[in-house]
Structure 1
Amino acid sequence: MKHRPLKARNFRSAGEDAAKTKPPSLYDGPGSAYHLAFTDIDFLLQEELRPVRVQLELMKPEMVQARLGIESTIVLFGSARIKPPEVAQELLAAARKSGDALAIRRAESAVAMSQHYVEARRFAAMVTTGTRHLATPIHVVTGGGPGIMEAGNRGAFESGGKSIGLNIVLPHEQQPNPYITPELCFQFHYFALRKMHFLMRAVALACFPGGFGTLDELFEVLTLIQTGKSRARPILLFGAAFWKRLIDFDLLIETGMIAPDDVHLFKFVETAEEGWAALKGAYGFEGIASAPTEAAGEL
């Protein structure tokens, strides 16, 4: 006698209905309302459904990472325009061949900035290999694009670890770099949801030179920590010369725009080794498994 399974589903799943339901030919044309609501793209993209789309962008990466056991991350921010050293050298050679003085200066700057690609790649590798033994390894997460983002995912990939990419749809198409773990490569429409996911599991942030997007991400994190909306965590600014020229922190203190102690919210580092040492000094890699994250609280 064949027994019935005790824990069988009581109802057909939405996936089963979605796979099997085919509209009758009369109602399968453009504008038909017959499609199941959760398979009807035209319906889901209506203006009134924005709250549902926001919720989906919050839930999808959260559910996937939870299922794959991703609990602790370190975020690498930085410019998409920083080239790998070999690419920067090729651009410099081409510029010198052309004899264009402006192109040569720009290419020389690109070569100098490419060192940050090297350090981001090395730092990501150190984090990946150095925390692999922990109950909750630290996974690298980036914006998923080229430049510093690619360097971060590349360092993790070359070390045999998983890494996360939070890509976003932009007017100028941005493809995810090829080093992201495929099941952890996400695409966003809403910047706010993307930035929330950067922080939900982050135990630290490493910020390399960048432009408007990098500054936006950095200052949002600093504001959340300064105001107590987010727990304090290490913020590593790679390349002190760049950051001190870009942002006059002394002026902010002198004019009372920030408190003197606010400059202790971040730490300048130059190399991957310095960044790794700062991370180890902050945590000692003890207690990370039980450290609270915004995934379990408010953000």
Structure 2
Amino acid sequence: MARTPENTARKPLPVREDTREVELPECMPKSEREDEQAPELIRRIMDSPNYRLADEDVDFLNEDEMRGTRLMLDYQKAESLLREQGIAHSIVVFGGTRIPEPSVAWARVERLKAECATCPNDTGLKQKLSIAERVAEKSRYYDVAREFGRIVGAQEGPHGNRLVVVTGGGPGMMEAANRGASESGSRTVGLNINLPREQFPNPYITPDLCFRFRYFALRKLHFLLRARALVVFPGGYGTLDELFETLTLIQTRKIHPVPVILVGEEYWSRAFDIDFLMEEGVIDPEDRDLFWFAEEAQEIWDDILRWYARTGRNLVAPPERRPE
């Protein structure tokens, strides 16, 4: 049939995308006129936790049976946002949260000295002073980490991707590295962890690049997915955990080797005796060479560049194998 103005006019217009002229029956609750109890019954149904959408039901997501989903979400949120932000390469910095900048550390020493002067027989106070003095002596590494962050932050990667500093997001050595990178004008990443007591991120992380993880395992994975080097300052259990995890992954070739630099040979030589482990036969001599020591920021950076030059790899090239 030939098209005419008359039959063309009878063809319907496209329907509206999100509205209707007449609402569907299910879009209108049963009225009080039909059943005076209906509004209250409907309210009770809709207020029930079981009526929530699954992805909006926090109680449901926190159940033990949903751990697999939580693990997936813990991984995927950070992965998606890091890709979206163009973060391709990182220098990971670990270190103790209890080592503040020198002015803060030495001010605490002076306060404790004053307290000891008024209570000379308080052995507990003397111990606190001794520990504070040791922390203050190590606080020089805050300045080293800060300067190293500045050096890394000044490096421009291909396609506009910077070689970003990634830390655990906390205070101390991690704060120093984030701070230095921020001062250089670079974006800088913090991978924080959810703990029973509230943990605050340090203020020098790029706001859109601070992530909070539920699981340590997924946080560790994200530390290494883009890592081009691991720089470890003096620290405690958490620092040792991340260090030995990385050394084990390199030892077993579960990840492609990256340079691992321990800053502060005096500290690390006492924290763990690598030669003792080798002499006892629990590691091989080649495992002794998975890391080395450094003291200053420029030395750390030069060592990283030298390692990549010797391996013939590009510092900002994609890794041959990402961690599983």
1:114-133 correspondence to structure 2 within 5 Å: 114-129=139-154, 131-132=155-156
Q: Which amino acid aligns with 1:271?
A: E
Q: Distance in 2 between matches of 1:97 and 1:239?
A: 30
- Are residues 279 and 134 of structure 1, via their aligned partners in 2, closer, same or farther at CA, if it must alter by over 3 Å? farther
Q: Distance in 2 between matches of 1:39 and 1:171?
A: 22
Q: In the comparison of the two structures, how many residue pairs are matched?
A: 276
Q: Distance in 1 between matches of 2:198 and 2:259?
A: 32
Correspondence for 1:160 among 185, 199, 214: 185
1:118: how far off?
A: 1.0
1:134: how far off?
A: 4.3
Gaps of 5+ in 2: 1-16, 19-26, 30-41, 117-124
1:298: how far off?
A: 4.3
Name which one, 1 or 2, has greater alpha-carbon Rg: 2
Q: Distance in 2 between matches of 1:44 and 1:97?
A: 52
Please list the CA deviations of residues 16-46 of structure 1 after superposition, one character each: whole Å capped at 9, or x if unmatched. xxxxx9x9634332x4322221112122112
1:34 corresponds to 2:51: yes
Q: Distance in 1 between matches of 2:206 and 2:46?
A: 37
Q: Which amino acid aligns with 2:247?
A: L
**Conserved 8 A contact 1:202-1:293:** no
Q: Distance in 2 between matches of 1:87 and 1:43?
A: 44
Q: Distance in 2 between matches of 1:98 and 1:283?
A: 51
1:171 corresponds to 2:188: no
1:194: how far off?
A: 0.6
Q: Which amino acid aligns with 2:225?
A: M
1:92: how far off?
A: 1.3
Query: Residue 265 of structure 1: SS of its match in structure 2?
Result: coil
1:76 corresponds to 2:93: yes
Q: Which shifted more, 198-207 or 281-290?
A: 281-290
**Conserved 8 A contact 1:79-1:214:** yes
1:286: how far off?
A: 7.0
**Conserved 8 A contact 2:100-2:142:** yes
Query: Residue 288 of structure 1: SS of its match in structure 2?
Result: coil
CA RMSD of aligned residues (A): 2.1
Q: Which amino acid aligns with 1:25?
A: R
Correspondence for 1:211 among 216, 236, 245: 236
Aligned position for 1:266? 291
1:50 corresponds to 2:67: yes
Identity of aligned residues (%): 45
**Conserved 8 A contact 1:79-1:209:** yes
Using structure 2 for the length normalisation, give the TM-score.
Answer: 0.80
Gaps of 5+ in 1: 1-10, 13-20
Using structure 1 for the length normalisation, give the TM-score.
Answer: 0.87
Query: Residue 49 of structure 2: SS of its match in structure 1?
Result: coil
Q: Distance in 2 between matches of 1:41 and 1:260?
A: 50
Please list the CA deviations of residues 128-149 of structure 1 after superposition, one character each: whole Å capped at 9, or x if unmatched. 11x1254442100111111111
1:110: how far off?
A: 1.9
**Conserved 8 A contact 1:167-1:188:** yes
- Are residues 293 and 163 of structure 1, via their aligned partners in 2, closer, same or farther at CA, if it must alter by over 3 Å? farther
Correspondence for 2:43 among 15, 25, 30: 25
**Conserved 8 A contact 1:200-1:293:** no
Q: Which shifted more, 283-292 or 240-249?
A: 283-292
**Conserved 8 A contact 1:141-1:164:** yes
